[in-house]
Amino acid sequence: MLAALRGHPFIWYAVIPDSVAAKQSIQPNVLLYPYDYGGIYYVADRFEGITTKNHDTSVGKIQCGGETLFSFLTRPISDDDYANKLEQYLRLTERYRKRPGRNPPALHHFREVLAYDVSNGSLEPSFWDVPFGFEQGLYDRQQILFVPQLNGADGGIAIKDGLKRLIINAIFLIYSQSNILTYDTIAVNNLILTCYSESGGNVFTAASKNLDDVKALICFEPQYMNEHLKKENKSLTLGKTVIPLLLKEGAKVAIIARRKQGWQGKYLPEGVNKDHIILLPDDAHYSVLRLSGPIQAVRPICLACISASILAAAQARGRSSD
C-alpha cells in the first residue's frame, strides 16, 4: 500500500505477483473503481484522508477499500475449496467478531454459485458476491496492478496528465525500498487502464490526457461510452471520443460484458468499427454460473467475463510483438 501526497487519491494499492519479481520490463495495469463499487469518501485536503477508517472498515452496505480489492482479486472457490477452508474461515471471523464495522461475509458468498435473495416476493440474484479473480490473470500476464482508492467518484490525480510518471515513481519506490523487484535494472511499459461500469468516465478521461502513454483499455460494461446519462459528470470524457484516438495510435481496446447478447448498443462506441475492438465474451471464453434454487427464476450471468480468463484473453488476442 502506497500513500500519494501530491493529491488524492491518497491511498494506492499495489498488487505485485511473484511472476513479476525478476522481470526487467514492468507492465502496469491501473484499475479505477466505480463510485458505487469501491469509491469511499475522505477529506482531500488533510492528513486524515490517509488515516480514515473508511480504508479498512466496512460499515453497513458500504465496502471499505480493502474489501473491494479482495473481491476484485480472489477467484471463486470450488466446492472442495469450500469444505477445506470453512473451519479456518470460521476461526477468522470469530477473531474479528468484536472489530468495529461489518464482519467478513459468510464463506459461501465466494463460491462459484450464483445465490439470490428474496425481495418483494421475487428472487434477486447476488451478482456482485462472486469474486472477479484478477489475481490469476495478473500472475499469468505478469502485470503489476495499481488501484487508487478514489474519493467518491472523483479520480483526482489519477485522471490528470502525467499518470505514467506517477506510476513510474511508485514502481521505483517499490524497487528501491524493498526486495520485491529483483532485476538489476527495470523499465516501465505504457499503461493498461481498466474500468468497470461507472468508472468508464474516469478511465476515458485519464486516457484522453495521457494518449501517448496508454497501451490498452480494458472496459468491463463501461458507462460514459456514447453519452452522459442523467446525473453523470459531464466534465468527463466519453469513450466514443477517446477510443478512436487510441486505436489510431495503435493501442488495444477490449470491451467485456456479462452476456454475449443485448449489450452492443450500450457498450460499443459509436462510429468505431467493431472489428477493431476486442469483444468478449466470445464462444471460447463463455460459461454460465451454476445456479442455486430454481434455475428458471434466476437470469444466468457469464462467469468468464468477470474472471481472470478475460484479462488473459484480452491481452492474448490484442498482442502484436509484445
CA angle 225/226/227 to nearest 5° reads 105
Nearest to 2 by CA among 142, 177, 213: 177
- Tell me, what's the pLDDT at 316? 58
pLDDT for position 181: 94
**Which residues of the chain carry a pLDDT beneath 70?**
56-64, 101-104, 127-128, 259-264, 285-322
Predicted local confidence at residue 165, as pLDDT: 96
* Domain boundaries defined on the chain: 2-76+112-318
Residue 60 to residue 253: CA distance in whole angstroms: 36
Q: What is the pLDDT of residue 297?
A: 38
- Give exposure, 250-264, as e/b (b: 16+ Cβ within 10 Å): ebbbbbbbbeeeeee
- C-alpha dihedral sign at 263, 264, 265, 267: positive
- Residue 118 pairs in a beta bridge with 123
Q: From the CA atom positions of the chain, what is the Rg in Å?
A: 20
Q: What does pTM read for this prediction?
A: 0.84
